């Protein structure tokens, strides 16, 4: 009878202690890359990326519980782990594709594939990744060629279910008391419905935005989507930020009596040159380290370096200030605690 092989815990602990100093740096570098991956995919995070480095106590417990037989601690695929939590279900595919195109993917799976139609459980995309071999030429990354990390990608609704089921210790239906199963199944179904309804809403929204067209033939009541469309046509693309507060700007415009596209268009055409001139003055002042400009205007250094300060929303607020003067100032003062600076 073949004798079972037990992991050499003492040797593994010694190896872990040798790896431990570089694990936080490995995690920090991967986190920076993941942030870029999400941003380049045009996706908004539901929460900041969560990161953890596995402790020796956790590793030893895992070896003891599972009897893992690995050649080394470095062979563990989750020494460093991440959770990337997204707002919308369709964004999962975008981030998954970006991860596959950025890292060396050792393994990937979808936890929902383990479930039958009448089962519940938490949904999540799991990736085990390494730095691409080409990155080893970069001095700051050359020390990490053999390390792997686990990246879990899920929606906010999926995350709520995962955290709640873990806290309740109801990860699987068999662990739920029979009298409580209908209730917990309703919760699981509701959270899944949230994701599906948001996905349906986003599809409808995309269709609506396609149908908007160019609203320049007759007055059209403004909403957030039409507002973005009009500003994209009228304002320099270089000033547009990745995220613009169109909803807040819409309230500002309505407060000043601008509720239709024809009025907005006329106002922007009238005052845009003044707003852009002020934008150039602000950029020059900050780049020149002028104390007045530096203390008064605090924008994104990367944007200022690129020669722009105001976003699309900021430019329109400058236009409103120049057009309405004291009335605009009164409006801003009244709502100062409710709205961020433009």
Do residue 22 and residue 162 come from a single domain?
yes
Question: Which residues constitute the domain of residue 273?
Answer: 207-335
Instruction: Tell me how far apart the alpha carbons of residues 84 and 86 are, in angstroms, rounded to a whole number.
Output: 6
Q: What is the CATH number of the domain that holds 156?
A: 3.30.460.10
Do residue 21 and residue 141 come from a single domain?
yes
- Report strand pairing: 80-86 vs 148-155: parallel
- Tell me the backbone φ, ψ of residue 327, rounded to 5 degrees: -65, -40
Do residue 184 and residue 217 come from a single domain?
no
> For 115-150, how does the pLDDT look when each residue is reduced to its tens digit (9 = 90+)?
554 455 567 899 999 888 888 777 777 777 678 899
Do residue 249 and residue 307 come from a single domain?
yes
- The domain total for the chain is 2
Does residue 286 contact residue 309 with C-beta atoms inside 8 Å? yes
Q: Does some domain include residue 196?
A: no
Instruction: Classify residue 30 by burial, with Cβ atoms within 10 Å: 0-12, 13-18, 19+.
Output: buried
Do residue 14 and residue 156 come from a single domain?
yes
Conformational region of residue 169, where left means phi above 0, alpha means psi within -120 to 50, and beta covers everything else: left
Residue 341's pLDDT is 44
For the cut 70, the answer to whether the pLDDT of residue 113 exceeds it is no
Do residue 152 and residue 115 come from a single domain?
yes
Do residue 258 and residue 323 come from a single domain?
yes
Q: Does some domain include residue 289?
A: yes
- Strand ranges for the chain from DSSP E: 50-53, 80-86, 104-110, 125-130, 148-155
Residue 118's pLDDT is 47
Largest CA distance in the chain: 91
CA dihedral for 153, 155, 156, 157, sign (positive or negative):
negative
For the cut 60, the answer to whether the pLDDT of residue 24 exceeds it is yes
Q: Does some domain include residue 340?
A: no
Do residue 165 and residue 237 come from a single domain?
no
Q: Does some domain include residue 200?
A: no
Q: Does some domain include residue 129?
A: yes
Last residue of a domain, one of 145, 164, 191: 191
pTM greater than 0.85 (yes/no):
no
> For 225-270, how does the pLDDT look when each residue is reduced to its tens digit (9 = 90+)?
999 999 999 999 999 998 899 999 999 999 999 999 999 999 999 9
Residue 4's pLDDT is 46
């Amino acid at each position: 009878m073949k004798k079972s092989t037990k992991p050499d815990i003492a040797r593994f602990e010694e190896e872990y202690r040798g790896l431990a100093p570089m694990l936080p740096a490995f995690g920090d570098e991967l986190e920076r890359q993941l942030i870029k991956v999400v941003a380049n995919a045009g996706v908004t995070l539901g929460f900041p990326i969560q990161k953890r480095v596995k402790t020796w106590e956790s590793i030893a417990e895992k070896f003891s519980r599972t009897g893992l037989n690995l050649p080394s601690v470095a062979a563990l695929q989750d020494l460093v782990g991440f959770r990337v939590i997204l707002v919308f279900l369709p964004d999962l595919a975008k981030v998954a594709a970006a991860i596959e195109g950025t890292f060396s993917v050792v393994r990937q799976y979808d936890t929902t594939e383990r479930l039958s139609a009448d089962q519940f459980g938490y949904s999540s995309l799991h990736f085990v990744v390494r730095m691409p071999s080409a990155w080893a030429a970069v001095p700051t990354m050359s020390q990490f060629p053999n390390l792997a990390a686990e990246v879990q990608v899920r929606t906010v609704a999926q995350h709520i279910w995962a955290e709640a089921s873990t806290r309740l210790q109801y990860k699987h239906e068999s662990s739920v008391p029979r009298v409580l199963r209908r209730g917990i199944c309703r919760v699981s179904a509701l959270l899944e419905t949230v994701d599906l309804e948001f996905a349906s809403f986003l599809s409808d929204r995309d269709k609506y935005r396609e149908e908007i067209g160019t609203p320049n033939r007759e007055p059209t009541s403004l909403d957030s989507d039409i507002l973005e469309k009009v500003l994209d046509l009228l304002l320099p693309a270089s000033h547009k930020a990745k995220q613009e507060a169109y909803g807040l700007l819409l309230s500002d415009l309505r407060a000043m009596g601008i509720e239709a596209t024809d009025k907005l268009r006329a106002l922007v055409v009238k005052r845009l040159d003044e707003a852009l001139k002020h934008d150039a003055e602000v950029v020059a002042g900050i780049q020149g380290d002028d104390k007045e400009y530096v203390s008064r205007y605090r924008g994104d250094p990367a944007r200022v370096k690129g020669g722009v300060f105001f976003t699309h929303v900021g430019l329109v607020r400058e236009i409103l200030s120049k057009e309405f003067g004291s009335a605009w100032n009164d409006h801003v003062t009244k709502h100062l605690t409710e709205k961020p600076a433009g």
